[in-house]
Structure 1
Amino acid sequence: MPSRSIPTPSSTLASINLLPTLKSCLVNLPPSLVHALHNSNTLPQNLIVELTYHLPKKSSPPHSIYVGWTGHPSHIMSPPTIDLDSTLARVLQIPPSTQCAITLHISPEEANTITLEPLTASDWEIIELNARFLEENFLAQGLVGHPIVLHLSETATANVTVTGVTPQSKGHFVRVGAGAEVYVAPKTREAPAAAVEGEVKKTKGTAGRGQVFLRPVACSIEGWREEEEEEEGRGLRVWIPEEVGSGRVLRGVSHVAVSVVRPVGLLGEQQDGEPRKVVARLGTWNDAPDAGHAILSDLLCEILGVSGIVGGVVAIEGAPQPVQSARKLKLTPFGSTAGVKFGGEDASLRVKDMLRDVLRGPVTDCMILPKRGDVWPGGFLDFDPSPVGDAAKTRVNWIISGEKLDVVIQAESAPPKKQAIPGEPIPDTPPSLVGIEDTVEQVKKSLLYMSSVLVTGGVGSGKTSLAYLVAHQLKTDYLFHVTYFSCRNMVTEDIRVKTVKDTLLQIFGLAQWGARLGGQAFVILDDLDRLCPVEQELQMDANSRSKQISELLCTIVRRFCGRDSGVTLLATAQDKESLHDTIVGCHVIRDIVTLKAPNKDGRRKVLEQLIRSDDSSEDAIHVSEDIDLLSIAGQTDGYMPGDLVPLVSRARCEALIRSITTSTDDENVTLTSADFTSALKGFTPASLRGITLHTPSSDVNFSSVGGLFTTRQTLLETLSYPTLYAPLFAQCPLRLRSGLLLYGYPGCGKTLLASAVAGETGLNFISVKGPEILNKYIGASEKSVRDLFHRAEAARPCVLFFDEFDSIAPKRGHDSTGVTDRVVNMLLTMMDGAEGLSGVYVLAATSRPDLIDPALLRPGRLDKSLLCDLPDRQDRESILSTVAKKLTLEDVSLRDLAERTQGFTGADLQALLYNAHLDAVHDLLDVFAPEAQSREREKGTRVAPLEVFTLSEPEKKESRVAEYDARLAEILKRRRKTPTGPPGGVEKARRDAPQVVITKRHLEKSLRETKSSLSEVEYRRLKAVYEEFSKDRNGQLPDGQGGSEIGGRVTLM
């Protein structure tokens, strides 16, 4: 059926809008035409659009192009606009906003056979690399018969023209049928023109054979090559699989021309001319993993500018015959050559000797020479005289060896500009990590299965080092292409979102190019939470930027990291919650690996590696044989590997200071355990900064607590024994008890007992007051609880103490705001062991256990409840004896005093003795005040007279001021005299100082004035509550009925 043409009215001219996202030879039509086509039920595949336009040049004839229709309208509603792919417009030299006339051709003729020809040899090379993609996607991109642009991948395009169709078309266009066959004619690069006979000859059987494209691997990655052929491997060499070498292109070839194929459109402006080719010797790779890889010697990689390359594409073709006309080698350095005198024979010989490894093998004209130390900065190499018939140096001219030719050094020249590539190279030497072998294998396994991984951990946990180690192992063992990028480089407000987008597109595009020809690649985005942080309150601008970048990253990862793309992602962050919700929730990250603080044995291994890393050098600090690293590791609970590095440096400094300050005949500096003890003083690891800890050096321990013998023993069994006898408890098949609840009357020592745990057990101690973690914003309270447990885990073994626990975790269903209900839910999640919080003990204290949610009192959370009851006579005597250790008593019977303090709490008993001590101090001041006044009179110092006053005379304020002045002057005088005395004067002054002695009279007076802080009514009410609590509880959740228990909470609905 002949085609029908629908010319549009001349008044409906459209403006061409260039749209880079089309990536095809299809256009978006103006909405008015789209509406008409939809009404006529015209299918996009049956329509060809003819665009007629005039170029901006004067008297320019009209031009016509033929494109297809996407089926969508253009993005701009008014004026009429047609969207055209920007790459196609650039090839056809169509500027933006060009006015064009639109003609629609419906039901064009079909072609069964299409013959295409690339416009350039570079287009043919790209089509060879993407033959399968072209076969599967040609119909979706090219529907018309004129020069077209094929988008073969996200980064590669090729320009082709139609040279023939079958059957022949009457018009200038044709539609490709669904079963049509497409043929692409090869277009190789022009061979060098023939020159003077005997001077330039082509290698027999190699001319016109074409090229092979392989995935390059640097020789340093395959270490066996340097060990097997150490001498030969230093020159310009390339090794290819045996099946490739026996193919038609390279059969019988001894030297090949190697060039690096660069991705089109990824590195900004492309360099003019053909890729630089370097001739190298060809060898056979006997145990190649497949037929798609090739090994390049390190020197060849350095000259091609791709040192340490793994991945990408190199083009290898047979080299022509070497030239015979070269007599000298002209070297043009890239900068000043310190130590080399220009024009002298000695300078030339010296440079020639430094470049001997380059000149003894095949030498290519216009080759870039590598840098050699500080003397030779690198440069160009040219033949003298230039090959005949190749003044423009378009051919590959080379010689077998340049050792016998003279070297002439030219004036310095500027080096060629290098294209900026985003990212940073990974260190040449892989880091040595101990104790995380299973984690490394887990990350490698995920990446091998093309599953993106997020590595989380605190500051100094080794996230970056882990990424470097995995990169080295995958690069060496599985030939992965690695791209590393630190997101900290993009964390500034000056960098626009578009710049971030372009950088990420370039990073993943290069990774995709590195995975070509059956390879694999992964991108490392270090500190991703700095680029895509979680949204914060009252930071609208930062939240908007973070959301845009997060959504952009998700789109890019889905685009490049497909199942068959061979590209995956490895990201690092401090925590999963520190990343934007878009990153975590859109399945961009599939596996999450957390680096936790190492245990005691892990820290010992890290310390051993750090102190012995440089022990082999002559100037290294020697390590004492008696040093106990396990003991030092026991003093570094909660330390990350990054914290142990500065600790070892501090210990080395302490060893140096000790060796300098002490006179010894030994010239060697030895590192001892004492140096680590000195280094630990005042050192706070990064993971523990900002956390309030009660260290084991606290002066409060169980000997400072009177009574509560059974409770103290239970605390020791629960908290101290698993640490003291860790090997024994590690073999226990059952879950150990890790949660305790202290409940009892106010003032009976619950908080004091918890504070004594730090000094008695030697565990880290974090104290949390009830209202500290409550927040009115949804999610903030839960985050506080989660962060609290994570900090405790970082400081493990650690005791997490919740004071006034009933205010944090009351029974659910009684909170109108729902804040405490969510806190209880989070506590249940963190305490039931699902999070794997080993080494964290929870200790809670409350005087109202009946108000706590019953779910928290079940085994596995708060395993045991301990009653801190009112002290009986024996306990009261113990409490009085403990407090009296710091005081001086005379003629006092603590047993009788304990008998007379029935109903007193521990706090009341302490207040009783402190009040008596204060009375004894007043009596002592009354005795020594007249003596002090007389001594001041003898020295001529005027002392304000003391006046006796009573509390009923408040108007005599001057007497009190005078009394205070006198006492203050006496105290200051004693303090000034103390340091200036003879040796031992301080101790003598202490012995001669008057003692404050508490007598029976003071205690009697204090006993009359001190009453129990717990009233009888309150005591009976709390006793009933505790008796009810200690009975069997059914643990059922509230059912909406009003509570009838004593002390129960009632909600008004």
Structure 2
Amino acid sequence: MKFLIRPGNDPFARADATLLSAMGLPGGGIVKVGKTHILIRPGEVTDSSALMLGERTMANAGVKAGETIDVKRVLLPQAQRVVLAGDELPIEPRHAARALQGIPVTVGDTVVVDPSYGSGESSEPIEVRVVGVIPTPAGTVGSGTVVGSEGDTAPSAPETQPAGLPAGETVTTAEAMLTGLETELETLAGWLALLTSPGNLPGTWGLPSVAGVALEGPAGVGKSELVNAAAAAAGAKVNEISLELVFKPEKLLDLVEKGVKESVGPTVIFLDRLDAVAGDEGMFRNQMGAVLRWFLDAVAEKPGLACVLGVSSLEALDDTIAASDLLPRKLTIPPPDLERRKLLFEAALGKVPSDDIDFDVLGAKSAGFSGADVIAAVVHASAMVVRSNSKATTDIVLSAIEGTTPSLGSVSLGEMPSYGFERVANLDEVKQRLTEAVIWPIQNPERFESMGIEPPRGILLHGPPGTGKTYVTRALAHEAGAAFFSVKGAELLDKFVGESERGVRELFTRARSVAPSIIFFDEFDALAPVRGNSNNSVTDSVVAALLTEIDGVSSRGDVVVIGATN
């Protein structure tokens, strides 16, 4: 978007709120202006197309007042290391890191630091020049960023670099973990930019009070990495509080109260592993819920402060928290599906010396892997590469995958049958029809879309017992490279109200998380009889739940439902 440069006095850029909203930055964020990257906030401007820049910022960007320049929204990674010019700095590195928290820096920038962070008694602002940003030429300063001078002997690459890999070939964990989460990153960054904006922007716009966002996803899918990247894009620092070892409401209250009081400037408080303190029903859960409600109120009342509640399942939250108006946005990071697992392996192996790796095979063989599991497998493969003084191959990575236990489980996330159609004698017509209805849509979805053909969402097999219905379906899953879920009809029925329907929902959720997948209902007639013909209201509810889930199955063929009956 084009802006007219006008002189300003703020350390960050200011622009018209309407134009920022049109750019997808309602509360501000990070933009690229000329040669540099800067924080931008909504505020009073001389005219709607004006971009207010300070003198130092104009110098960094290489622009002058009166010029018209293109301004682009960007998402910068958190810098691992920032190098400042000079052998000796006028400010201690730890103070510099704290002063630059949440600020984007670009190689060549001169940044101004408040004199209170300096080692002397001067009241003049401190100017330092950025001569290095690792691993990219631009990034944001976060809680994990190391700031130092040219004279420092600190390593320029993470200490976790596998021995023997060439310098610069380090696998950046955060970058790999965020692969495939671009939409979630954009959404969360927008919310955090709005909530941490100075001057209580939501209140100015007449919006209701909001504390933050609930972030749902199993361990290892990238919640921490997502929060840090989104906060950096919003120009905020992160205060992460892990609740894994919190056993008393008083301890939780102390932690969150301290976090709220010590937050200065745009800050995001990330309560990670909230499930650990959720507890079962009873007094403990009620007390924890009361503390969290106080916390949400305190965050909503303090300008520039937002929170993210990290949970593996929203059901772990107290109902009053989950339904709170202060927590209106819920984001879900599902376990990586086949496509994202492929992308994760591509990103993680991007800098590892390799030779013609088949990422389709790696994705198919890693069902149940979280993003952290993928990283662990790649590190294992990198160690094998160093020991053998060779390049990574498909076989080496597959060996590493076999040596890595899926943290998301294997049985609950389906299985991969070990035999295909070659083990199924005769039934040629059945195999051909199953190939056309299931395998083709899974392996070539774009062809069906281009021709406007919608593949079937489900198939019903019928025949006497012992004719091979289960056997041929398992072979079909192998041929399609799909996870296989086999369910006996009566297994999902539960005497407690709502439990059967929840079982149906959880089954489809697991199937979608490892798509492509096949759900096989054996004895389907026991699970879904004709509605109204049963004296049991549970079966009628299950039929309704099944219809709802099947209607929600993607027409791309990622999840296929197969029922079998006599």
The aligned counterpart of 2:284 is 545
Alpha-carbon distance between aligned partners in 1 of 2:481 and 2:268, rounded to the nearest angstrom: 45
The Cα of 1:589 is off from its aligned counterpart by 2.3
Aligned residues: percent identity? 26
Q: What residue number does 1:527 align with?
A: 273
User: For residue 262 of structure 2, what is the amino acid of its counterpart?
Assistant: L
- 2:426 aligned to which of 706, 715, 718: 706
2-structure distance, mates of 1:597, 1:470? 20
Aligned counterparts of 1:218 and 1:447: Cα–Cα separation in 2: 20
Q: Which residue of 1 aligns with 2:191?
A: 446
Q: 1:714 to 1:524 in 2, by over 3 A?
A: same
Q: What secondary structure sits across from 1:686 in the alignment?
A: coil
Structure 2 counterpart of 1:529, one-letter code:
D
Equivalent position SS for 2:477: helix
Partner SS for 1:441: helix
- In the superposition, relative to structure 1, how do residues 219 and 521 fare at CA in structure 2: closer, same or farther (>3 Å)? closer
The one of 215, 221, 243 equivalent to 1:487 is 243
Q: 1:487 to 1:641 in 2, by over 3 A?
A: same
Q: Deviations over 1:680-739 (max 9, x none)?
A: 4465422242337452422x63652434x4433221111111233244235354543121
Partners of 1:505 and 1:444 in 2: CA distance: 24
Partner SS, residue 497 of structure 2: coil
**2:481 counterpart of 1:765:** no
Aligned to 1:280: 122
Quote the Cα distance in structure 2 between the aligned partners of 1:505 and 1:282. 34
Equivalent residue in structure 1 for 2:461, among 733, 739, 742: 742
Q: Aligned AA for 2:366? A: T
1:643-1042 equivalences under 5 Å are 643-655=373-385, 659=388, 668-681=389-402, 683-691=404-412, 693-698=414-419, 701=421, 703-707=423-427, 709-816=428-535, 818-833=537-552, 839-847=558-566
Distance 2:105 2:369 in 1: 40
- Corresponding letter in the other structure for 1:507: G
How far apart are 1:630 and its partner, in Å?
Answer: 4.1
- Residue 11 of structure 2 corresponds to none
Task: After TM superposition, give the deviation of residue 599 of structure 1 in Å.
Answer: 5.0
- The residue correspondences of 1:26-45 to structure 2 (distance < 5 A) are none
Task: Report the CA distance shift for 1:551/1:778 in structure 2 as closer, same or farther (over 3 A).
Answer: farther
CA contact (8 A) 1:702 1:712 kept: no
Shift of 1:509: 2.9
1:639 aligns with 2:380: no
SS across alignment from 2:303: coil
Kept after mapping to 1: 8 A contact 2:416/2:477: yes
Is 1:576 the counterpart of 2:457 in the alignment? Answer: no
* Equivalent position of 1:436 in the other structure: 181
- How far does residue 782 in structure 1 lie from its aligned partner after superposition? 2.1
Q: Which residue of 2 aligns with 1:218?
A: 99
- What's the offset of the Cα at 1:674? 2.1
**Distance in 2 between the 1:835 and 1:579 partners?**
29
SS in 2 for 1:670: coil
Q: Does 1:629 align with 2:374?
A: no
1:554 Cα deviation after fit: 1.7
Number of aligned residue pairs: 422
**Correspondences of 1:303-382 after superposition (within 5 Å):** none
Give the aligned residue type for 1:467: V
Q: Aligned ranges for residues 388-427 of structure 1 at < 5 Å?
A: none
Distance 2:260 2:173 in 1: 23
Give, in angstroms, the shift of residue 357 of structure 1.
Answer: 11
C-alpha distance in 2, partners of 1:723/1:434? 22
> For residues 998-1053 of structure 1, what are the alpha-carbon distances to aligned partners after superposition, in whole Å with 9 as ceiling and x for unaligned?
xxxxxxxxxxxxxxxxxxxxxxxxxxxxxxxxxxxxxxxxxxxxxxxxxxxxxxxx
Give the structure with higher Rg (CA).
1
Deviates more, 1:772-781 or 1:634-643: 634-643
Residue of structure 2 in register with 1:456 after alignment: 216
Q: Distance between the aligned counterparts of 1:572 and 1:357, measured in 2?
A: 38
The offset of 1:799, in angstroms, is: 0.7
Aligned with 2:494: secondary structure? coil
Structure 1 position 671, deviation (Å): 1.7
What's the secondary structure of 2:549's corresponding residue?
helix
Structure 2 CA distance, aligned partners of 1:697 and 1:525?
A: 42
Partner of 1:509: 261
Task: Tell me the secondary structure at the aligned position of residue 530 of structure 1.
Answer: helix
Contact conserved, 1:637 with 1:797, CA < 8 A, in 2? no
Following superposition of structure 1 onto structure 2, how do residues 1-40 of structure 1 map, counting pairs within 5 Å?
none
State the one-letter code of the partner of 2:416.
T
Label 1:679 to 1:430 Cα distance change in 2 as closer, same or farther (>3 A). closer
Q: Structure 1 781/610 Cα, relative in aligned 2: closer, same or farther at 3 Å?
A: same
User: Which residue identity lines up with residue 810 of structure 1 in the other structure?
Assistant: P
| CA distance in structure 2 between the aligned counterparts of 1:827 and 1:586, rounded to whole angstroms | 30
Q: Secondary structure at the match of 1:802?
A: strand
Other-structure match for 1:99? none
Find 1:227's aligned residue among 103, 108, 111: 108
Deviations 1:505-564 (A, max 9, x none): 2222333xx24xxxx33211111222225x4xxxx6xx43122212321233124314x7
Pair 1:225–1:836, CA change in 2 (3 A): same
1:687–1:794 CA contact under 8 A, matched in 2:
no
Q: Tell me if structure 2 keeps the 8 A contact 1:705–1:752.
A: no
- Secondary structure (helix, strand or coil) at the match of 2:228 reads helix
Q: Is the 8 A contact 1:521 1:568 kept in 2?
A: yes
The separation in 2 between residues aligned to 1:669 and 1:545, in whole angstroms, is: 55
Contact 2:337 2:514 survives alignment (8 Å): no
Match of 2:294 in 1: 555
Residue 596 of structure 1 is matched in structure 2 by: 334
Aligned 1:85-234 pairs, distance under 5 A: 218-219=99-100, 222=103, 227-229=108-110
Q: Is the 8 A contact 1:529 1:580 kept in 2?
A: no
CA distance in 2 between counterparts of 1:228 and 1:504 reads 36
1:466 aligns with 2:213: no
Contact 1:238 1:280 in 2 (8 A): no
Corresponding residue SS for 1:561 = helix
Q: 1:309 Cα deviation (Å)?
A: 9.4
Alignment partner of 1:431: what SS? helix
Q: In the superposition, relative to structure 1, how do residues 580 and 443 fare at CA in structure 2: closer, same or farther (>3 Å)?
A: same
CA distance in 2, matches of 1:727, 1:225: 41
Give a deviation string over 1:215-271, Cα, whole Å, max 9, x none: x97247546598345xxx7xxx745xxxxxxxxxxxxxxxx7x389xxxxxxxxxxx
Say whether the 8 Å CA contact 2:220–2:370 is kept in structure 1.
yes
Distance 2:382 2:551 in 1: 43
CA distance in 1 between counterparts of 2:219 and 2:373 reads: 9
Work out the CA distance in 1 between the residues paired with 2:516 and 2:469: 21
Deviation, 1:466, is 1.0
- The offset of 1:574, in angstroms, is 1.5
Q: Using a 3 Å threshold, how does the CA distance of structure 1 residues 767 and 219 change in structure 2: closer, same or farther?
A: closer
Q: Distance in 1 between matches of 2:531 and 2:174?
A: 50
- Alpha-carbon distance in 2 for matches of 1:829, 1:566: 41
> TM (normalized to structure 2)?
0.65
Using the alignment, how far apart are the partners of 2:149 and 2:373 within structure 1? 47
CA RMSD of aligned residues (A): 3.8
Contact 2:338 2:514 (8 Å CA) reproduced: no
Judge conservation of contact 1:528–1:572 (CA < 8 Å) in 2: yes
Contact 1:638 1:796 in 2 (8 A): no
